[in-house]
Copies of this chain bind each other. A is one copy, B any other.
Amino acid sequence: MNGAQSAIQTAVDAGVNVCFANPGTTEMPLVAALDSVRGVRAVLGLFEGVCTGAADGYARMSGRPAMTLLHLGPGFTNGIANLHNARRARSPIVNLIGDHATWHVAADAPLTSDIASLASPVSAWVRTNEGAVTLGRDTADAIHAAMSPSGHVSTLIVPHDAQWEDAPGAAAVDAAAAPTMPEEHEIVAIAEALGNGAPTAILLGGPALHRRTLEAAARVAAATGAELLMDTFLSRVERGAGVPAPERLAYFPEQVLETLGRFEQLVVVGTRSPVAFFAYPEGRSSLLPEACTALTLAGPEQDVTGALEALAERVGAPASATGAPAARPERPTGALDIDSLGRAVAALQPEGAIVMDEAATSGLTYFMHSQGAPPHSLMMLTGGAIGQGLPCATGAAIACPDRKVIALQADGSGMYTLQSLWTMARESLDVTVVLCANRAYRILQFELARAGVAEPGKNAMSLTDLSSPVIDWVSMSKGLGVPAVRAETADELVAALDRSLAEPGPSLIEALL
């Protein structure tokens, strides 16, 4: 057994058996080990951002880490943006980066760079392996770190010679620590605060808002009169008919301040007190009003569901909670715009759908319209690094082959990682991409206006407009092996969605807004 085989065997033994990869020469023994060790599924991405975003989507839906296999510093850097999103989503991921042979690093060959410096900002755990003898152990430690409570990005840098040299064998991964519960007195204090008569909201967030988590929170709310809120951007939330539906905080700071202005207490669960996405002149970072006190029940690394269930018991909550009523819009007809787009998807999405929303401004109404749709999972852009949607949908489809994945994808961010479409085609993934083509970086046009630029000049227009030339997404999608149609009316979108959702495999609908 060589070092590469010891690493892959260690991963497979720990149940880490999917590898999203774009390898090069310094990963060849690891590539060979993906075959000589049995039980791994290797998935090629034609760009590293596809691999890391797919690993994020896989983790969000499976709760388990995938491996990525990436080529030295330059290959890894192409995956950093989606690792940034994964870090914000607290998704467990194990990155394996091949490096030059230990004795070749000093030669400063063309591909040499400081990989640890590149990896550290997006990795909770980084290690450079020092040889084949410890490669199994280092892989086990990387997996252990990734699977620590609430998830982490682990990055193991693996020298080329450590992969090809003899190794003692696979290593066992230490069991992950269980997430901690808040102390009893902390739960008591929050229960008391919930009973003090002050207007109170419970803010939910964190790695996953599972149905059980939401039901515990809703039971607390039912018993205490608190209102339920949730973060603007969530890794994954369960929702739909019968599932409790917290109010989602809006995007702009003034909107969040207005919402929180209704409350004197904010109980924070699985997340932290809200901060502004961006700063503005005369603005502020914290979006907690001065008159509102934040109380933390449990951080994202703690047992959020357990904490809420203990709190529910403490406040004498009812045994069950009411979820959102079943209600979905009629199939829209007429003009295709943001509203009819949201209605169309909400009207047609099947039960158990996984929806990845990176539609940016084009997705503004979908969230509202889909509240009472059949139960589904919703994933969002967590770290603001655009280009997450198509890769994340790819990984989710691999994690959940029996569920339909719907990617609501803005055109500007879709261009960042459009290579994902090819992987969807190659792997026959059951993904319907609704490509929302407004032919602009619309959010930036809003931001220009907020920055006081009433009439953008030639350069500012050039940097925010995508209409010249028009991007033909149907042509691009077909070029990457994914069947595609264009919808210019709501009726055409409904018909296209109907067809796409009824058929297995990937397809793309360019919705012209």
A512 at interface, CB cutoff 8 A: no
Verify A476–B469 contact, CB threshold 8 A. no
Residues of B within 8 A of A473 (CB): 479
Copies in the complex: 2
Which chain A residues numbered 272 to 301 have a C-beta less than 8 Å away from chain B? 275-279, 281, 283, 285-286
Q: Which of A26, A41, A275, A419 has the most CB of B within 10 A?
A: A275
Residues of B within 8 A of A23 (CB): 444, 463
Residues of B within 8 A of A40 (CB): 459
CA distance A120 to B120 in the complex (A): 12
CA distance A485 to B19 in the complex (A): 36
A472 at interface, CB cutoff 8 A: yes
Shortest beta-carbon distance, A396 to chain B, in Å? 20
CA distance A448 to B164 in the complex (A): 12
A80 at interface, CB cutoff 8 A: yes
Residues of B within 8 A of A278 (CB): 25-26, 100, 104, 109, 111, 160
A35 at interface, CB cutoff 8 A: yes
Stretch at the interface among A42-50, A208-216, A319-327: A42-50
Q: Mark A109-129, 1 if CB is under 8 A from B, else 0.
A: 111011101101110000000
A60 at interface, CB cutoff 8 A: no
Contact of A104 among B19, B84, B109, B285 (CB under 8 A): B285
Q: Of all chain B residues, which has the CB nearest A21? A: B463
Verify B422–A106 contact, CB threshold 8 A. no
Shortest beta-carbon distance, A60 to chain B, in Å? 16
Shortest beta-carbon distance, A51 to chain B, in Å? 11
Contact of A459 among B42, B88, B101, B472 (CB under 8 A): B42
Verify A35–B80 contact, CB threshold 8 A. no
Which chain A residues numbered 436 to 451 have a C-beta less than 8 Å away from chain B? 443-444, 447-448, 450-451
A34 at interface, CB cutoff 8 A: yes
Verify B384–A110 contact, CB threshold 8 A. yes
Q: A447-B28, A480-B469 are in contact. Are A113 and B122 (CB under 8 A)?
A: yes
Stretch at the interface among A70-78, A180-188, A362-370, A401-409: A70-78
A107 at interface, CB cutoff 8 A: yes
CA distance A469 to B108 in the complex (A): 37
Verify A31–B448 contact, CB threshold 8 A. yes
A471 at interface, CB cutoff 8 A: yes
CA distance A72 to B22 in the complex (A): 25
CA distance A157 to B444 in the complex (A): 20
A306 at interface, CB cutoff 8 A: no
Residues of B within 8 A of A19 (CB): 459
CA distance A36 to B22 in the complex (A): 43
Residues of B within 8 A of A426 (CB): 468-469
Residues of B within 8 A of A475 (CB): 475-476, 478-479
Verify B110–A453 contact, CB threshold 8 A. no
Q: Which of A115, A382, A422 has the most CB of B within 10 A?
A: A422
A29 at interface, CB cutoff 8 A: yes
A383 at interface, CB cutoff 8 A: yes
A348 at interface, CB cutoff 8 A: no
Q: Which of A21, A36, A475 has the most CB of B within 10 A?
A: A475
Verify A469–B120 contact, CB threshold 8 A. no
Verify B32–A107 contact, CB threshold 8 A. no
Q: A286-B107, A479-B475, A480-B469 are in contact. Are A36 and B121 (CB under 8 A)?
A: no
Residues of B within 8 A of A383 (CB): 74, 110-111
A257 at interface, CB cutoff 8 A: no
Inter-chain pairs besides A46-B416, A472-B480, A475-B478, 10 sampled, C-beta below 8 Å: A22-B463, A23-B444, A78-B81, A80-B80, A103-B279, A107-B275, A109-B285, A117-B120, A161-B281, A164-B281
10 A-B pairs with least C-beta separation: A35-B457, A469-B481, A74-B385, A475-B479, A104-B279, A107-B285, A476-B479, A101-B279, A42-B459, A77-B80
Q: List 18 A-B contacts (CB under 8 A).
A: A25-B443, A25-B444, A28-B450, A28-B451, A32-B453, A35-B460, A40-B459, A77-B81, A78-B387, A80-B80, A104-B285, A107-B285, A109-B285, A111-B277, A111-B383, A164-B281, A469-B481, A473-B479
Write the residues of chain A forming the contact surface with B, with a CB cutoff of 8 angstroms.
19, 21-26, 28-29, 31-32, 34-36, 40-44, 46-47, 49, 72-75, 77-78, 80-81, 84-85, 88, 100-101, 103-104, 106-111, 113-115, 117-118, 120-122, 160-161, 164, 233, 275-279, 281, 283, 285-286, 382-385, 387, 412, 415-416, 419, 422, 425-426, 443-444, 447-448, 450-451, 453, 456-460, 462-464, 466, 468-476, 478-481
